[in-house]
Structure 1
């Protein structure tokens, strides 16, 4: 067992722009939740929403939530990585600028160009709109992704350069030399292990995404250029699955860095910890196969891999991170406040969210559940009760009033409302999926509407709780300034 040798500094120089990023992320989270509430209310026949508008909101909601999760996760990872290696603030600002440029293109393509092909831009759908949008709108949407991807590649390049410089190579940054019998001298802290792992698998995912994005743009501009749809689907879902998972793996570094401040117990780099992250690098890339289990022309071995890796992918999370969290908390005398409560919720919610994913990864079950509300149920658990909770926990810590150690009455109310509303909301998705209610349908039959109506109620509670968290963070920023 090895302690990290690099003592963290108090505040990275990029703290100001990180705070701004978290404010942007919080506002977008809130807006996308409102979009989600509107869609669920429409499905429950509580309001009328034109199906064309529904699919535009669906596209914006998916792209916006994934983008906000990625942005907040990147801010968290940058903040804590900068405690251990020097990171240039100018690079982060360039990343943020490219990201925001991509957001402008995406929003313009949806709300001006009318694009409604969902956040996955599944080929050849962007070019087959049935007159709902022009090819230029689809190009703008996909170009937005391209700019965001370039921004992230720049971001990861800076992480890689600084980690390699500090630790003498990426394998050392990953901890793999230590894992396979190396000395425990100068073993990186958990945050560097996480940063190195994420930059490896998410860079690979973004490169695949960039390739299919380029092919899709060429197809939109020159329809005679065709792409194999099955290859395109594999590349898109590989990119999408890796990218959304990376958001959570970036955000969990807040738990590694902040929990020791509350428990007095340092989160240590052990061979078990490094081994778990080694497995993550492999599993995050291989598990996407469960998105192709219904493609009968995929090779049979991909179905086996998809099922086995879906089972296995939960082991590093539940067997190491969640279990370690419980061990670090037990008997520590931890004094709960809003930041640590949200961070713990995020870790536990992440662990719970993997269970529906494992169930969906079973070939026999996947044939029934994958195109139902079950799938949004599992990834809303990952995000709403996982990454988003971690992001708000980190944000609350950034503006924490150091004179107060306990949660105020308002903090307790916001936390309970967020947990209760979020849990009820995702359970409605899972109930709907178990009842074989399809996903991505703008209009629901009357006998499907009860779950949507209840989900709308829970969503309203989450929106109000999130509004309170965003206002609390903004007030904290003003108070600190």
Structure 2
């Protein structure tokens, strides 16, 4: 008799595809984490980089590896596993497509990383013009984007196959969520692909003499804001569909989860102007419109918060909890699969509040281009998202490698999460406070702004160095756990937990699977928010600039 758990394991061939993505992601974490530590030490004024290494070279390595490479490879690896687990084993064509996407992404990553390490692309992860990188850097970025599209196509192929074999039925929740995130990514990266292919690459190769800076920044932020939700939605996938199973509960509402993901698709893309509130050349009326659209994202966020805490409370009360908050005591705090992502969930409360500040026209004037923004990123991506990714890896890696999450590794994972939390309290908290005092982001110079103002920032910069050092310890522990679970943990079977809806009799409405409707609405919102202002930018923006090489 076949073991029942074996029936729901990810196929070993698909597992190899996912693990290949994870190896790259955790390698990026190791190198990018070291660069982050060096940054905080330099900013403290107590450390100088050796061997003539430049601060902005280190800053670029950290941003690109942590913000783009770690996230994209981890997300694609997780979504491959999720689709294989819930929609069925990949076909040979889909698996081959996934591998092609992986190798194209890896080649692009190697090209971009080489130029950064040679100090010929120290343009930060935003690569703003008129700073100019080597053309190989831009070509590498193009390969990363195109490779991710190919990776996503493999998932879409399996979704289409499932729909064909199951007409009239809603797709599995984790598969549906993966496809929403893949579609969001493909639509969003059209902006960055356009600016790289048609502006930055020809410009860096000398084929055109100048670049239109406002156009390039607008295309980047068309991509840059939904990038945040590309990071966040896989964490939401875990929170919605995995955590309920881990705590012994049920998904509060399958339909609500699907609706929230569709709303994220609709409202996360046409809002890039709220990152450009201080930039001239964009009509304030269009900025105001996109600020309103930005605040609409609060709706699915609150839906998610309500659904999650309803799930926690119902699971707790099913175990006998009484009183207003008695359910909190019976949650599985000793299980890293729950505790690590839960810390990330809690961190998203102040992170979301900071996001409201950043998106508000008047309040953004106070913090724009200060290190407050960096602190905000480290609460959203580097805490809520990354801790959830760690929590996923603690059960998914042994599931894919045929090993077990041992008690020792489970305990170490919980310790790692609390170390991460403490480190981020120091670092992100100090960044927020220094930002309110006017401390600049992207700057290595503690004396920027005058000696008196710099003296006010020094305690916060030292606190950032302390926090960065603690976080680096957390990274070392994560890497120890990952290597153990991938290669050395005892052989066995680790569950891929997938929750069930509380009310299984009510199937999700099929309107959620109507892609003509949702893609049509997405396109309409994008055209409405961008067409007229983009035409105005092209017609009235200043002449292009020649640029400044970074090497």
TM-score by shorter chain over 0.5: yes
> What is aligned with 1:415?
417
> What is aligned with 1:321?
304
CA distance in 1, matches of 2:424, 2:272: 26
Counterpart contact for 2:229–2:264, Cα < 8 Å: no
> What is aligned with 1:53?
54
> What is aligned with 1:176?
none
Counterpart contact for 1:290–1:307, Cα < 8 Å: yes
> What is aligned with 1:471?
480
Q: 1:323 to 1:404 in 2, by over 3 A?
A: farther
**Matches for 1:27-38 after TM superposition, within 5 Å:** 27-38=27-38
Counterpart contact for 1:417–1:461, Cα < 8 Å: yes
Normalising to structure 1: TM-score of the pair? 0.86
331-340 or 295-304, which moves further after superposition?
331-340
Residue 101 (structure 2) pairs with residue 103 (structure 1): no
> What is aligned with 1:236?
220
CA distance in 1, matches of 2:410, 2:247: 20
Counterpart contact for 1:76–1:251, Cα < 8 Å: no
> What is aligned with 1:114?
120
- Say how many residue pairs are matched: 451
The counterpart of 2:82, out of the listed 69, 74, 80, is: 80
The counterpart of 2:374, out of the listed 376, 387, 390, is: 376
> What is aligned with 2:8?
9
Deviations 1:36-66 (A, max 9, x none): 1111111110102389610011111111111
> What is aligned with 1:21?
21
> What is aligned with 1:129?
none
Q: 1:454 to 1:36 in 2, by over 3 A?
A: same
Residue 362 (structure 2) pairs with residue 364 (structure 1): yes
Residue 312 (structure 2) pairs with residue 312 (structure 1): no
The counterpart of 1:335, out of the listed 332, 353, 360, is: 332
Counterpart contact for 2:446–2:458, Cα < 8 Å: yes
**Matches for 1:91-170 after TM superposition, within 5 Å:** 91-126=97-132, 138-167=134-163
> What is aligned with 2:470?
461
1:233 is displaced (CA, Å) by 1.0
Counterpart contact for 1:8–1:84, Cα < 8 Å: no
> What is aligned with 1:132?
none
1:12 is displaced (CA, Å) by 3.5
> What is aligned with 1:212?
195
Structure 1, unmatched stretches of 5+, are 1-6, 127-136, 174-184
1:395 is displaced (CA, Å) by 1.2
Report the RMSD for the aligned CA atoms in angstroms: 2.6
CA distance in 2, matches of 1:112, 1:453: 29
CA distance in 2, matches of 1:340, 1:111: 38
Residue aligned with 1:45, SS: coil
Q: 1:201 to 1:21 in 2, by over 3 A?
A: closer
CA distance in 2, matches of 1:277, 1:204: 15
Q: Greater CA radius of gyration, 1 or 2?
A: 2
Q: 1:299 to 1:267 in 2, by over 3 A?
A: same
1:312 is displaced (CA, Å) by 2.5
The counterpart of 2:269, out of the listed 260, 285, 299, is: 285
Normalising to structure 2: TM-score of the pair? 0.76
CA distance in 2, matches of 1:113, 1:452: 25
CA distance in 1, matches of 2:464, 2:262: 38
Counterpart contact for 1:335–1:406, Cα < 8 Å: no
> What is aligned with 2:520?
none
Counterpart contact for 1:95–1:152, Cα < 8 Å: yes
Residue aligned with 2:291, SS: helix
CA distance in 1, matches of 2:230, 2:430: 26
CA distance in 2, matches of 1:409, 1:269: 32
Deviations 1:268-288 (A, max 9, x none): 654433332221012210232
Q: 1:61 to 1:406 in 2, by over 3 A?
A: closer
CA distance in 2, matches of 1:240, 1:102: 19
1:342 is displaced (CA, Å) by 1.6
